[in-house]
């Protein structure tokens, strides 16, 4: 689903078109390439990330075309040949695309999206591919940390007004639902994706009235079935809770209604929530929920719970929708192989920064699960001609410290990627958002708790097959300059 009908084809870096023009005019026009998207580090030094954004990637790839005004602009740059401009005028996407499904826990260095096709086309989709997957995976990952910190208490996404633009608010809310939020304050996202729209009132509602009681009374009369009052405009303990209780008694009780809850948005929430809980209980409203907000993140929520805060749900805004603690996901898109006349040539990027050395070749990422526990053991990346036979023992090893080896038995091997496009035609149907959420919960549950720690999580292994490790090592040696 798209936020509107904009043509996003021209959201690309200029070098994508200058390179494509050079390829079109040169010897590589008929060369097939394989590109991988992967990331090098989990945000916030976490143990894993959450894949998101695939549906929007599909929408983008399905609508690749250059409008007349795009063509006129590109002609005016005087950078491209007439023949290449004609190619763009009649552009038709023809690549194969694979991706890890949304909601899947993902780990550094493994290919999460793979694109195969003409070199020109593979290069031209780089920017939007990265933008889409990076953004939503970042927000889904941050959200999942916050939701896990809440330890079963509902978390609602409240960040639209703090997002960096309408797209970030809309798709960020979608990613937050994938990550584990139960609802969003953004009603367009709620409407389009069939999720709960959450929200009550702002302080301005209370300030409009001559006093707090009048504001609460008017709201309760308007919404007797969903009355949740914001109680911290003036003073939670001395004003907000007493006025809320008075309205519950005078407006809701005669109607046979019960209050939905109160919301606290400032102050020492742990302390105030304990006081508020006792006051509500003493007034006969033990079922009145306490929702809190105010620049929350996973660390604040975890601390509040450990200190005994009486909180039933959380509204999380700016630190979720902007992933403020780590604002970049860092996914990259690199050439892995070329193919001409049926012959595949692996490609590698070598760097003195070892984390930037790529994994060459056409690859398949696998996840191995213990048959007895259902827990994920490790991921293994193989070359595309290899298969992991889970009816036989399989040896895995650390690709850096290669003497660290383990023989895995009684396991299930599953491919991580699924095919989205074949020769430019969509062959995959995106699941409904609620199905992605259910899948994400099951997939995260398959990870050991040690991998899910916030601080110094256990290192989940992404290993290479023996053949792939050998290929990578050989290419590194081939491209390494030997000094005297």
DSSP string across 208-235: HSSSHHHHHHHHHHH-TTS-EEE--SS-
Looking at the fold, whether 214 and 307 belong to one and the same domain comes out as yes
What is residue 2's predicted lDDT score, i.e. its pLDDT? 79
Q: Count the domains in the chain.
A: 2
C-alpha–C-alpha distance, residues 292 and 273, integer Å: 9
pTM metric for this prediction = 0.96
What is residue 387's predicted lDDT score, i.e. its pLDDT? 97
What is residue 482's predicted lDDT score, i.e. its pLDDT? 59
The list of the chain residues with pLDDT below 70 reads 481-484
Rounded to 5 degrees, φ, ψ at 198 are -115, 145
Is 9 domain-assigned? no
Containing structural domain, residue 52: 14-139+327-478
Looking at the fold, whether 159 and 248 belong to one and the same domain comes out as yes
Return the CA Rg of the chain: 26
pLDDT tens per residue, range 326-341? 989 999 999 999 998 8
What is residue 206's predicted lDDT score, i.e. its pLDDT? 98
- Which is nearest to 172 in space by CA: 209, 202, 143, 204? 143
With b for 16 or more beta-carbon neighbours within 10 A and e for fewer, the 433-450 pattern comes to: beebbebbeebbebbbee
What is residue 484's predicted lDDT score, i.e. its pLDDT? 46
Domain boundary among 295, 321, 347: 321
Degrees (nearest 5) of the Cα angle 322, 326, 332? 100
DSSP letters of 279-310?
A: HHHHTT-TT-EEEE-SS--HHHHHHHHHTT--
Residue 279, domain CATH:
3.20.20.70
Is 73 domain-assigned? yes
pLDDT tens per residue, range 155-167? 999 999 999 999 9
**What are residue 426's DSSP bridge partners?**
421
Looking at the fold, whether 339 and 424 belong to one and the same domain comes out as yes
What is residue 4's predicted lDDT score, i.e. its pLDDT? 84
């Amino acid at each position: 689903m798209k936020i509107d009908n904009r043509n996003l084809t021209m959201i690309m870096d200029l070098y994508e078109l200058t390179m494509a023009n050079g390829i079109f005019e040169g010897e590589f026009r008929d060369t097939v390439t394989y590109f991988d998207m992967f990331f090098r580090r989990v945000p916030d030094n976490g143990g894993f990330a959450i894949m998101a954004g695939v549906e929007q990637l599909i929408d983008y790839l399905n609508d690749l075309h250059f409008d007349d005004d795009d063509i006129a602009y590109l002609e005016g740059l005087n950078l491209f040949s007439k023949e290449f401009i004609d190619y763009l005028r009649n552009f038709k996407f023809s690549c194969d695309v694979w991706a890890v499904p949304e909601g899947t826990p993902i780990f550094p260095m493994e290919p999460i999206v793979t694109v195969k096709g003409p070199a020109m086309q593979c290069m031209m989709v780089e920017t939007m591919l990265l933008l889409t997957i990076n953004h939503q995976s970042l927000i889904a990952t941050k959200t999942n940390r916050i939701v896990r910190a809440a330890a079963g208490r509902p978390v609602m996404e409240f960040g639209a007004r703090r997002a960096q633009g309408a797209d970030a608010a809309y798709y960020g809310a979608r990613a937050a639902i994938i990550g584990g939020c139960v609802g969003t304050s953004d009603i367009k996202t709620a409407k389009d994706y069939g999720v709960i729209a959450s929200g009550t009132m702002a302080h301005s509602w209370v300030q409009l009235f001559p006093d707090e009681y009048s504001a609460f009374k008017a709201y309760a009369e308007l919404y007797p079935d969903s009355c949740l009052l914001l109680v911290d405009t003036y003073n939670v303990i001395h004003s907000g809770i007493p006025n809320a209780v008075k309205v519950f008694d005078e407006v809701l009780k005669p109607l046979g209604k019960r209050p939905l809850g109160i919301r606290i948005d400032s102050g020492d929430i742990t302390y105030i929530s304990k006081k508020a809980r006792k006051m509500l209980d003493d007034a006969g409203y033990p079922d009145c929920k306490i929702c809190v907000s105010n620049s929350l993140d996973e660390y604040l929520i975890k601390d509040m719970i450990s200190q005994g805060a009486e909180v039933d749900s959380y509204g999380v805004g700016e630190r979720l929708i902007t992933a403020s603690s780590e604002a970049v996901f860092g996914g990259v898109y690199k050439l892995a192989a070329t193919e001409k006349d049926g012959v595949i040539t692996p490609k590698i990027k070598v760097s003195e920064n070892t984390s930037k050395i790529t994994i060459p070749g056409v690859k398949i990422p696998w996840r191995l699960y213990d048959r007895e526990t259902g827990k994920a053991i490790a991921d293994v990346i193989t070359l595309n001609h290899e298969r992991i036979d889970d009816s036989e023992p399989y040896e895995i090893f650390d690709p850096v410290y290669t003497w660290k080896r383990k023989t895995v038995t009684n396991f299930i091997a599953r491919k991580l990627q699924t095919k989205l496009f074949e020769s430019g035609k969509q062959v995959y149907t995106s699941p409904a958002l609620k199905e992605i959420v259910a899948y994400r919960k099951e997939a995260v549950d398959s990870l050991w708790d040690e991998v899910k720690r916030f601080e110094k999580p256990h290192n989940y292994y992404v290993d290479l097959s023996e053949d792939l490790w050998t290929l990578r090592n050989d290419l590194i040696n081939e491209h390494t300059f030997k000094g005297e």
